[in-house]
Amino acid sequence: IDLSQRPVINGLDVDGSCPFDSSFRQGKKRFLLSFSQMIMGREDGDPGVTNQKSPTCLLLTPDLRFHSFGFAARDSYHDLDPEEARHWLYFDKFKMKIHSTSDLTMETELESVSGRRVRAIEVFAHALRFFREHALKEVKDQSSSVLESNEVRWVITVPAVWRQPAKQFMREAAYLAGLVTPDSAEQLLIALEPEAASIYCRKLHLHQVIDLSQRPVINGLDVDGSCPFDSSFRQAREQLRRARHSRTFLVESGTGELWSEMQTGDRYIVADCGGGTVDLTVHQIEQPQGTLKELYKVSGGPYGAVGVDLAFEAMLCQIFGADFIESFKAKRPAAWVDLTIAFEARKRTAAPGRANSLNISLPFSFIDFYKRHRGQSVETALRKSNMNFIKWSSQGMLRLSAEAMNELFQPTINNIIKHVENLMQKEEVKDVRFLFLVGGFAESPMLQRAAQNALGRNCRIIIPHDVGLTILKGAVLFGLDPTVVRVRRCPLTYGVGVLNRFVEGQHPRDKLLIKDGREWCTDILDRFVNVDQSVALGEVVRRSYTPARMGQRKIIINIYCSDTDDITYITDPGVRKCGAITLDLLESGAVAASAGDNDKGPAFERREIRTTMQFGDTEIKVTAVDVATGRLVRASIDFLSN
C-alpha cells in the first residue's frame, strides 16, 4: 500500500480517516502469508523433483554445534569423507520419533546415523532456532525493519494424533530455541495440522482446487448411468479460469466460492496426508460467521509417505540382506543419500495407469560394496531373490515394474483408505459433503486414484493447488485468528484420583481407607472431561484444592488419562498417569497467609486454591487463584516428567 498516493491533511485522509486503516492491516497480513511461502522455496532441492518443503534433516558438527538444516544438511553430509562423516551427527526424519516414543521426557534421546545419541530436545531446538533466525532475517530483508521479540507470534504445527507430551515437548524446544520465553508463552501457538488445513480450505476459490469427482460424462450422466456431481460447480470453475483470477494467497474477510455452496450444519473431512502421519479431522461449518466446529475427535496414524520409503528399504533388505543394508548406510552414507534421492524422484512419477517399468539407479559404491561383502554380484542377488517384478539393467539400475511400485504403495494407501472408511461409519461423521486431501502425499496419483475409487461415491473429493503448502497457509490464518475453531472434541478422558465416602456393596473392599474414624474409598477418578466430549473454546473446568499441611510450598496433583470413558478408578485397565498440575503456593503468598492464620485454628483448613482448566484449545491450560487473598497462584501443567 503506497500511502503517498492518498491525499493527507494534518495526518488524516481527506475523508477524516486515519491512513493506517483496515486495508493496511490486510496488506500486512498478506505480506506475512506470502513470506511464509518464501521460506520453503529457498533451497535448491533435488534434480527432477519439485519441492515445496524442506526435508526434516539436521547436521551437527562433531562437537555438537549446529551446521545446517534441510537440503543443505543432507547435501553437506553427502559431501563429507566417509571416515569424517562417522564423527558428524546427521538426523533424518526425526520428527516422527516424538510420536513413536511412548515415554517422552526432556531426557529422551535421538540416535544419529553414525550411532551417536543426543537429547531430542536439543535436536529440535537447533531446528527451531534455524527457523527463527531465517524468518527474522527474511522479514528484515523484505521490510528493512527489525522486529522486536514481542511483535512476533509464532505458530508451530504438529500432527493432530500427537498427544499432550509431544505438544509440550515442542513448546519446551521453542523456549530453548529462543522463539519465546515462558513468561511470554501466549506468543507461541501450537496448531494441529489438519485443523490448519481446514482453516485454509475455507478460503479456497474454485480455480484453486482439483475436483476428483470429475468423471467421463455422456448426456449429463456418468458412463455408468449415475448422475454426476453438480455441473454448475464445473461451469463456475471454468468461468473463473477464463477470467484468469490471481492465485495469490490473500487474507480476505470472506470465504471462497467453494464455501458458498455449504450451509450451516454441512460436514466435511480433512485428511492431512504428510510424510510421517495421516491425520483426519471432521468439521462442521457454522454460517454466516464461518467458524468451525469439530464433530469427532482427531484420529489417524503413521500412514504417511515415509511408509513407501520404508517398504522400498524392506525390499532392499529382502534382496540383499538386512545386515548388508545397515552396514552400507553406516559406511557409505553419501551413497545411501544418493539412493534415497533416486527413489524419491521415481516414487513421485508412479501412477496407476503406468505400464512401463521405473529405473532406479544404484550408486557404483553400492554395487562395489556388495561384491566385496558378499562375493557375488548385485545381479546374482536379484536372481536368487525370486522377485520376478524387479529386474537388473546392465546400465546399473533396478527396474521396478508397475506391479512392484504398486506393492510398495498399497500397504500405506490401504491403511489410509481403511481409516477414512471407518471414520465415515461413525454417526457424527455420516453425510459428509467433502473430503479434502492435503499434505505432500496427497499429490500422489496412486493415493488420489485409490481415494476416488473407494470414497468418491460418498462425497466430493477436493485437492487444493499447492497442496503441500496448505497447512503452512492455514497455520498463518490460525495465528491471525486462533478462535476460528469454536468447538473441539477431547481425544482422551482426563481426571485426577480422589477420596470419596466408602459405600458398602458399591465400592471394593481393597479400596477402603479408614482415616480419623471415617471410611473412605481411594483411587476414584474425578473426571475433568470425557473422551470425544465436545468442549467449546473458553469453556473451563474448575476444581478447588486445599494444602494438606501448614507451611506447604506446593500442591502437586497427578493427572490420569484413558482412551475410553468406561472407567471408575485410576487403577482400572487402560488408565495411566500422564502428567501433573503444580500449584506454587510460595509465589502466591498463600504459605505466609496460612502461617499467620494458624492461631485461629480452622482458617488454615479452609485455605482454598481454585484452579481453572481449559480443554477446548490445542493445548491444555491451567490457571489458579488463592481464594483467601485473591492472588494468582503460579500454576503449571507438566506432561513430560513421568
pLDDT, tens digit, for every residue of 502-534?
A: 998 899 999 999 888 889 999 999 999 999 999
Does the structure show a pLDDT above 80 at 113?
yes
Which of 45-54, 255-264, 505-514 has the largest mean confidence? 505-514
* Last residue of one domain, picked from the residues 164, 192, 220: 192
Does the structure show a pLDDT above 50 at 240?
no
Residue with cell 482422551: 492
Query: What's the mean pLDDT in 551-565?
Result: 89
Domain count of the fold of the chain: 2
pLDDT, tens digit, for every residue of 317-336?
A: 999 999 999 999 888 888 88
Does the structure show a pLDDT above 60 at 573?
yes
pLDDT, tens digit, for every residue of 366-422?
A: 999 999 988 999 999 988 888 888 888 878 889 998 889 999 999 999 999 999 999
Number of helices and strands in the chain (H, E) = 19, 31
Q: What is the model's pLDDT at position 174?
A: 96
Angstrom CA distances, 319 to 306, 356, 379, 390, stand at: 20, 22, 10, 10
Does the structure show a pLDDT above 50 at 38?
no
Domain extent for 542: 492-589+604-636
Q: What is the model's pLDDT at position 289?
A: 67
* Last residue of one domain, picked from the residues 149, 177, 192: 192
Q: What is the model's pLDDT at position 219?
A: 36
Q: Which range among 161-175, 191-205, 222-236, 465-479 shows the weakest confidence by mean pLDDT?
A: 222-236
Q: What is the model's pLDDT at position 601?
A: 46
pLDDT, tens digit, for every residue of 583-607?
A: 988 755 544 444 444 444 444 445 7
pLDDT, tens digit, for every residue of 173-226?
A: 999 999 999 999 999 999 999 999 988 888 887 778 888 876 443 333 343 433
- 326 in a domain, yes or no? no
Q: Band of the pLDDT at 257, cuts 50, 70, 90?
A: low
Which of 133-142, 397-406, 413-422, 538-547 has the largest mean confidence? 413-422
- 628 in a domain, yes or no? yes
16 or 633: which leads in pLDDT: 633
Q: Give residue 600's region: left, alpha or beta (phi > 0; psi -120 to 50).
A: alpha
Q: Tell me how far apart the alpha carbons of residues 533 and 297 are, in angstroms, rounded to a whole number.
A: 8
Q: Give residue 391's region: left, alpha or beta (phi > 0; psi -120 to 50).
A: beta
Q: What is the model's pLDDT at position 451?
A: 93
Q: What is the model's pLDDT at position 590?
A: 47
- 620 in a domain, yes or no? yes
* Last residue of one domain, picked from the residues 192, 224, 245: 192
Does the structure show a pLDDT above 50 at 69?
yes
* Burial class of residue 491, CB neighbours in 10 A (0-12, 13-18, 19+): buried
CATH number reported for the structural domain that contains residue 560 in this entry: 2.60.34.10
- 439 in a domain, yes or no? no
- 101 in a domain, yes or no? yes
Of the candidates 461, 458, 459, 477, the residue with the CA atom closest to the CA atom of residue 469: 477
Of the candidates 313, 303, 315, 314, the residue with the CA atom closest to the CA atom of residue 275: 303
Per residue, what are the HEC states of 573-602?
A: CCCEEEEEEEEEHHHHCHHHHHHHCHHHCC
**pTM summary value:** 0.79
The mean pLDDT of the chain is 81
Does the structure show a pLDDT above 70 at 3?
no
- 511 in a domain, yes or no? yes
Q: Tell me how far apart the alpha carbons of residues 334 and 15 are, in angstroms, rounded to a whole number.
A: 65
pLDDT, tens digit, for every residue of 421-469?
A: 999 998 888 888 889 999 889 989 999 999 999 998 888 899 988 787 8
Q: Band of the pLDDT at 627, cuts 50, 70, 90?
A: confident
- 544 in a domain, yes or no? yes
- 508 in a domain, yes or no? yes
